Amino acid sequence: MSVTPMTWFVAVGGLIMICLLGGLQLIAFIRPRDRWTIENVYGGDPADTDPVAYFAFNRGMAAADVFFWAPIQIGASIGMLAGQRWGFVLALMASVPFCYTAITLYTWDRELGFRKPTVSYWVIWGMWPVFGVVESLYCLVRLLE
């Protein structure tokens, strides 16, 4: 498969986003109860809800991101840049959590009142599902060529 400028955008964009997320989630996985992790990765305060559920949810998301999602997206980006069909298939798979986790976190935030839906909230948290939709549509179109 040919490597187009859009392929570069999706592959490199996916690498940047997943490395940022994976790095933060690796810290969260290793140090789940650190004050820095709570303030900068999880958001909210465990005292606002059931602390057991708060840490279980966030540590579970961290593990899934680090050990499942990041390797798929990294492999996908490498495969796409190499012009391999399997890279586009992996990228299509990797696009799902960009949308799925955004919905989960939005619901978590809304129900527990952790983050307020400000403009910066929508810019920061909105980039994940927007990228997921772009990646999935691009890869689907390329795979159907």
Round to whole Å and give the CA distance between 56 and 128. 22
59: domain range?
Answer: 5-95+135-144
Q: Within a domain: residue 124?
A: no
Q: Within a domain: residue 130?
A: no
Q: Within a domain: residue 62?
A: yes
Q: How many folded domains does the chain comprise? A: 1
Q: Within a domain: residue 9?
A: yes
DSSP state of 8: H
Instruction: Dump pLDDT digits (tens) for 117-126.
Output: 777 777 777 8
Q: Within a domain: residue 125?
A: no
Instruction: Dump pLDDT digits (tens) for 30-88.
Output: 999 999 998 888 877 888 888 898 899 889 999 999 999 999 999 999 999 999 999 99
Contact 44, 54 (CB under 8 A): yes
Q: Within a domain: residue 118?
A: no
Q: Within a domain: residue 114?
A: no
